[in-house]
Each structure stands twice: as structure tokens, then as C-alpha cells.
């Protein structure tokens, strides 16, 4: 597989620059999802260890586990997509380039949707545990 060179030059066409920027963006998404994977592992562990006292709170743990699975699925898809981008260099017409650009936009929407849902889940988690932290501090 040929790695797409991401350095932008003055002589690059607009399409070349778009592909390079998209490659950089995709690499950032993958790194961010790897971080989210670590963060979810920590949040699941924290919930299981310190906050898993009530049966109704099991939904929080289940939501984290589901999000972890979704994160892994998206991460695998983006890694596969990154590998397929080596074929960009073989594009000889605008139609071929547009296939890659359109595909990238689809992955962008998936990534942003996933990120929004993850942030909402984290906000919900922290709003639930905030009271527990306050109670812990009051008992100290």
C-alpha cells in the first residue's frame, strides 16, 4: 500500500490538497477514537468499582459498554478506510476523486455523530456521579 503524502505543496491541485487534508483529518479521527477507547475503559472500570451500587444504575454501565462496542466498530471501519485510501494515487479522473471525497464526507458524518453521542453519554455520567462525589466529600 502506498502511503498518501500529506505535505501540501504550492503546485498541488485543489483535489490533491483535499485528499491530503482529508487524510490528516482521518488520522486525527483514528487517534481520537483510540483515546476514547482508553477513556471508556477507565469510565467502565470507575463505574464498576465505585458507583455501581443500584440496580437502576446498571443502565449507565450498559450504555458505556454499548458505546465501547460502537467505538471499536467505527475505529475498525476508519482503519479499513485509511488503508483503502492508498488507491487515491491511482485515480485518473475527477469521478474517481469524487468517490473518495464523497466517502470521506460519509465517514465524517459518522464520526461526528458518534462523538456527539459519546459526549452526551459522558455528560449524563458526570451529572449522575457529581452528587455522589459531593456525598463522598461531605462524609470525609
> What would the pLDDT profile of 29-64 be if each residue is shown by its tens digit?
999 999 999 999 999 888 887 766 554 567 888 999
What's the pTM?
0.83
**How confident is the model over 85-124, as pLDDT tens digits?**
988 888 889 899 999 999 999 999 999 999 999 999 999 8
Residue 73 predicted with pLDDT over 80: yes
- Contact indicator for 86, 2 with CB cutoff of 8 Å: yes
- Angle, helices 58-84/14-46, rounded to nearest 10 degrees: 150
Q: What is the pLDDT of residue 57?
A: 64
Amino acid at each position: 500500500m502506498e502511503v498518501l503524502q500529506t505535505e501540501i505543496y504550492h503546485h498541488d491541485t485543489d483535489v490533491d490538497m483535499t485528499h491530503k487534508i482529508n487524510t490528516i483529518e482521518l488520522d486525527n479521527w483514528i487517534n481520537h477514537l483510540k483515546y476514547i477507547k482508553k477513556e471508556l475503559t477507565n469510565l467502565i472500570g470507575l463505574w464498576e468499582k465505585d458507583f455501581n451500587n443500584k440496580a437502576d444504575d446498571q443502565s449507565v454501565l450498559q450504555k458505556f459498554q454499548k458505546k465501547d462496542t460502537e467505538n471499536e466498530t467505527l475505529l475498525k471501519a476508519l482503519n479499513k478506510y485509511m488503508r483503502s485510501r492508498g488507491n487515491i494515487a491511482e485515480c485518473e479522473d475527477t469521478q474517481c476523486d469524487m468517490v473518495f471525497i464523497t466517502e470521506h464526507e460519509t465517514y465524517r458524518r459518522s464520526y461526528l455523530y458518534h462523538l456527539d453521542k459519546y459526549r452526551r453519554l459522558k455528560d449524563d455520567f458526570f451529572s449522575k456521579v457529581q452528587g455522589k462525589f459531593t456525598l463522598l466529600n461531605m462524609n470525609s
